[in-house]
Structure 1
Amino acid sequence: MMITSKNKAHTSAKKCLTKLGLLALLTVGVLLSSHSHAKYASFVMDADTGRVLHSVNADTRNYPASLTKMMTLFMLFEALEQKKVTLNTKLRVSRKATWQPPSRLGLKAGSHIRVEDAIYALVTKSANDVATVVGEALGGTEWEFAKLMTKRARQIGMKSTNFRNASGLPNRRQLSTARDMATLGNELWKRYPQYYKYFKTTKWSYKGRTYGNHNKLMKKYDGMDGIKTGYIRASGFNLVTSVKRGGHRLIGVVFGGKTANRRNTHMAKILDKGFTKLDPKMMAAYKQKKKAKQQKRAYEIASKRRSTAWGVQVGAFNTIKKARVQAKAAIKRAPSYLTGAKTKVVPLKNGSKKVYRARVVGVEKREAYRACRALKKMRHPCMVFRAKGTQVASR
């Protein structure tokens, strides 16, 4: 009986521990799940005065992802200023660096990369292997470099930021806020204007390959000249921007975008609101000027399409090849009027037979008539016509 009682007690205790274990696992699962969802935050400030123009969850701690590389670059720019390295200093690539997951350059262990190329790689390709190379060069190890990054971040006013690596690859303790990232973006522009220019780079070529900047909004939003994008699954799509317009510079931050496009659209919206709040007259004049520019461009395109909607027909033939040859011959015989025009073969059913009309299209009305006069003098058949619609046919 004693043994049976002990067995029951043991079984009961075991079940209890099992339940507690399952509960613990479920709790951890919930915590992991809650951390895996990106949190939204946004922030806009006047770079000159520090005035906050927009703020939502600005002090919520989020995963910075590749925005981390802004701090890596800050540290590298500081090393350049202090003459610890030069733009031509060669940084050694460790085996650890080559193990970093994409995005990366694919550097080989034991090779070297120049400091300036490292800057370009971080700004455009956002290369994780290069971030590790820089971290190891400046800190001895990437872990030691991350501690230096955190310490320096505190000194420039980033009170809620912790770094654990140089790249922004997933780490639960690598956290920052929209406000802190705006502070960093502003410090980069103010302290290192001579190096900040690298953030404007749209394309960079290295060893036969060309890399484009991930910040696509820079080409679309007037006045934007940097800074950095970032993404990991847990962070969503992040972006820090710097924009100068009408004598004002704004720093904008978005954390937790659902997609890159939605993040960019939202960034443009909060920047517009920031400029309007800061200088409503300037923004109104800017919008009016932009609208007038768009209308002018639309008019020019429409006018060009109308003016080049003419062509000449130089005969009809029983094969496509013959028609194409004659159309090309017409351009060669009247180059003063038809150079730059395009040939077009148009089929026409004539009873049971099919014939092919040889045409040259995409010229102005006056040029079409002059070309026909010149061709007829050379006993070359020609007829002027106006093309249907405004689309220019292809060769």
Structure 2
Amino acid sequence: MKSALKLALPFLLVCLLPLSAVIAAPAQPAPEVAAKGYLLVDFNSGKVLAENNADERLEPASLTKIMTAYVVFREIAAGRIGLTDQVLVSEKAWRTGGSRMFIEVGTQVSVEDLLKGMIIQSGNDASVALAEHVAGSTEAFANLMNANAKRLGMENTHFTNPNGLPDPDLYTTARDLAKVTMALIREFPDFYSWYGSKEFTYNEITQPNRNPLLKRDPSADGVKTGHTNAAGYCLVGSAKRDDMRLVSVVMGAASPNARAQASLALLNWGFRYFESHSLYPADQPIENLRVWYGQQETLPVGPEADVVATIPRGSYSRLSARLEKTAELNAPIAKGTRIGDIVVTLGENEIIRAPLVALQDVPEGGLWRKAKDSVLQMF
């Protein structure tokens, strides 16, 4: 991603608009994808590049385990469990059908091995063992999954188990799966590296990673496959080329090859026709604005969050930006107060409107400062 864009700075007095983004059309339309629902999103900017039925509620099958892993990672990060914790395998975990890492009832297995068995081998038994260790039961763990889904804004998702085995009340969407996947990659990069592992051996049984993208695309490093008769063949993929990462979600394809081809087609199209640019990092000043009646005359302002633009390839030179502030700035002003927007345009089209905030406190000035500024404002 290129360096920050230089701002053009006409300070317009406007009413604030909500954060918005528009993606200009690339030279080539998105590929046709044979799936019930799909989505392609730029990880750095969060901009959706292609989608179809992305909000339709569908069965996730083993894609459920992305949320299972995310919940466990959060428990580790909070210090409530550890990678070296030994988990006693219950009969319920041992008897769980479908794909397995072949843990044995009554034995103890480390949290790290269970995570790798779930992530790399897609072990349903490992998922149950982890859920029971974290929450005491799979039902209680599902409550944790749903609480995290709500926190992440997964509005069309409901979990009932940690492994994705069929249940009429288990559903999610391509868009929601992208949300939890991007949160997992962003918050737990070290753990995410396991998703690129080609194989894992446990109990003297070596099983390959089920993700076909790892063999077909050297830039791919995740994420997860899923399949049941009702869900069809599903795949959440992610690949990184240079500084650009894309996440693809394909749900309800007709065959293993169809989901792989669809995922590769989306990823290759995204990398071929789009580029991502980091324009302004969060909490870094991009301008100093005049403040009235304060202990200081200027206020450094910058973006609340990283401002990243995803645009058609070859159009970077057409980007421009400006600041729009809501009104004159009068002290006192608290750090973090939203005082306007950063507006990025591509040609004549506005593509990003991001919050502009105060980067430090400006206390109210004394009587002399107030009197002086009153006179200056009159002229």
Task: Name the TM tier (shorter chain).
Answer: 0.5 to 0.7
Q: Which residue of 2 aligns with 1:172?
A: 168
Q: Which residue of 1 aligns with 2:43?
A: 47
1:30-179 matched pairs, under 5 angstroms:
40-179=36-175
Q: Does 1:222 align with 2:198?
A: no
Contact 1:39 1:235 survives alignment (8 Å): no
Query: How far apart in 2 are the matches of 1:257 and 1:39?
Result: 4
Higher mean Cα deviation, 203-212 or 177-186? 203-212
Contact 1:119 1:198 survives alignment (8 Å): no
Matched letter for residue 90 of structure 1: Q
Matched letter for residue 94 of structure 1: S
Matched letter for residue 189 of structure 2: P
Matched letter for residue 39 of structure 2: F
Contact 1:158 1:180 survives alignment (8 Å): yes
Q: What secondary structure, in the 3-state scheme, does the structure 2 residue paired with 1:62 have?
A: coil
Counting helix residues as a fraction of each chain, which structure ranks higher?
1
Contact 2:196 2:222 survives alignment (8 Å): yes
Structure 1 residue 91 displacement after superposition: 1.0
**Structure 1: which 5+ runs fail to align?**
1-37, 283-395
Q: What secondary structure, in the 3-state scheme, does the structure 1 residue paired with 2:92 have?
A: helix
Superposition CA RMSD, Å: 1.5
Structure 1 residue 246 displacement after superposition: 3.0
Query: How far apart in 1 are the matches of 2:155 and 2:260?
Result: 27
Label 1:204 to 1:254 Cα distance change in 2 as closer, same or farther (>3 A).
Answer: same
Query: Normalization by structure 1: what TM-score?
Result: 0.60
Q: Does 1:213 align with 2:209?
A: yes
1:1-395 matched pairs, under 5 angstroms:
40-279=36-275, 281=313
Structure 1 residue 256 displacement after superposition: 0.5
Query: Normalization by structure 2: what TM-score?
Result: 0.63
Matched letter for residue 110 of structure 1: G
Query: How far apart in 1 are the matches of 2:104 and 2:190?
Result: 30
Structure 1 residue 105 displacement after superposition: 2.5
Query: How far apart in 2 are the matches of 1:42 and 1:246?
Result: 24
Query: How far apart in 2 are the matches of 1:256 and 1:273?
Result: 20
Query: How far apart in 2 are the matches of 1:39 and 1:63?
Result: 13
Structure 1 residue 222 displacement after superposition: 3.1
Structure 1 residue 106 displacement after superposition: 2.9
Counting strand residues as a fraction of each chain, which structure ranks higher?
2
Matched letter for residue 170 of structure 1: P
Contact 1:39 1:62 survives alignment (8 Å): no
Query: How far apart in 1 are the matches of 2:104 and 2:202?
Result: 14
Query: How far apart in 2 are the matches of 1:54 and 1:246?
Result: 21
**Percent identity of equivalent pairs:** 34
Q: What secondary structure, in the 3-state scheme, does the structure 2 residue paired with 1:171 have?
A: coil
Q: Deviations over 1:126-175 (max 9, x none)?
A: 11111111111111110111011011111012111100000000001100
Contact 1:42 1:254 survives alignment (8 Å): yes
Q: What secondary structure, in the 3-state scheme, does the structure 1 residue paired with 2:207 have?
A: strand
Q: Which residue of 1 aligns with 2:23?
A: none
Structure 1 residue 257 displacement after superposition: 1.0
Structure 1 residue 39 displacement after superposition: 6.5
Query: How far apart in 1 are the matches of 2:249 and 2:256?
Result: 13
Q: Displaced runs of 4+ in structure 1, greater than 4 A?
A: none
Contact 1:123 1:201 survives alignment (8 Å): no
Contact 2:62 2:163 survives alignment (8 Å): yes
